[in-house]
Amino acid sequence: MTYQPWIDNPKWQSLVVDTYAEAFRSLYGRVLITARDEKWLMAACQAATGHASSTILCDCEAGIEQIVDGRSSGQETPDGRIGAYLQFHVPRFRKDRVEHLERVMLARLSQNILTCPTTRCFNALDTEPYFKLGRKIAFFGDGHQQRTEMFQQKGWTIPTLGGEFFLSRRFGYADGIMGGNLWFLGFSEEAAILAAERAAEAADKHPGVITTFPGGVAASASKAGSSYKFLIASTFAEYCPTLKEKLGERSLVPDGVVSIMEIIINGSTLEQVASATYASIDAALTVDGIHSISAGNYGGRLGKSFVYLHPHLHP
């Protein structure tokens, strides 16, 4: 069931703007990485999801969906070690989306997971069709790779100087959602950042979604297009507090607001992104010094997947 905190939170009515976040469809892959300990797990995950904040100039948007103990009930991993689920998203409007997502995952799994000590890589999306990434990455074994079955998983083992690396044979992909977002307008920089931090933490605890920017927070909300023909996106000048005086009536920054922070939420379904959005708003409402909570949209020009911040007011 969708998270519904507005039912008993009076701040929702006074601080949350009646608008929507304009998300759009994606194609995404999902993998499970395990390692000997948290140090090497996080090293692998941070490398594999690096430079993946925004598809404006990154090859994908990626992030850590969930950390699992591996030894705890309900959090089991195939090899019983600590693990993390990662998601990799590319926009569905790309004509080469399938081929591009495969290249993204091939590069990131081979160069950032295979190379990290003690890691293993498991498919976490059982779909048809799928990518035969295991076979392609296994060529690194230079003829010494082997098809095998370990941890009740069909896969490949590749000899390495550290021992051997195991990964699944097949990796699924499916339709997902990109671009869910929230804006936190603060009377101070501290309030805006703290609200965004708490919102990102709440989203990160929610199943099925990822936040993509450093620390989960973006200080540079963008708009589609630019006055420069060679750019596809640029800073959302109308919402930059330091441009309020320069832009005059064109500025959309409310009086007293000195900082606006954003979080981006991607996920496997619109319902999960929406539910994480509401949990994030509820967490941010605990912060003092917030003028309002809003979201970015472009009147439906970017995507058709809307997350209304006041869903009970809309059909």
What pLDDT score does 1 carry? 44
CB atoms within 10 A of CB 222: 17
For 32-76, the pLDDT digits (tens) are 999 999 999 999 999 999 999 999 999 999 999 999 998 777 788
Q: Of how many residues is the chain composed? A: 315
Question: Two tokens at 48?
Answer: 């594999």
Contact at 8 Å (CB) between 184 and 264? no
Q: Enumerate domains of the chain plus CATH numbers.
A: 8-23+176-313 (3.30.70.520), 26-174 (3.30.70.520)
CA-based nearest residue to 306, from 284, 282, 277, 283: 277
Give CA 310 to chain center in angstroms: 23
pTM value is 0.94
For 154-206, the pLDDT digits (tens) are 999 999 999 999 999 999 999 999 999 999 999 999 999 999 999 999 999 99
For 72-127, the pLDDT digits (tens) are 777 889 999 999 999 999 999 999 999 999 999 999 999 999 999 999 999 999 99
